[in-house]
Amino acid sequence: TVMEITTIKLTKKTKERLDKLKIYNRESYEEVLQKMLNILNTCHINPAKAKEILLDIDKDRKKLSS
């Protein structure tokens, strides 16, 4: 299956905010946005699970930054 690619315009501030959400340097914006959408969808269904996902992401970020 070929994935279609598109371009979106973002303000510099939004790009910087997305950069801060990356767990590792080479993480793509696609990965960051997919992660955000997954958390948002999970939050609607199961807020406790969404919080658990966020805590796991925070742990991963801390591991990689130390």
Residue found by looking up tokens 């993480």 in the block: 27
Q: pLDDT tens, position by position, for the chain (66 residues)?
A: 788 999 999 999 999 999 989 988 899 999 999 999 999 999 999 999 999 999 998 888 888 777
- For residue 16, the one-letter residue type is E
Report pLDDT for 65. 74
Model pTM? 0.79
Q: How far apart (Å, rounded) are the C-alpha atoms in residues 40 and 60? A: 19
For residue 59, give every residue at least 6 positions away whose Cβ sits within 8 Å of its Cβ, in sequence order, or none.
none
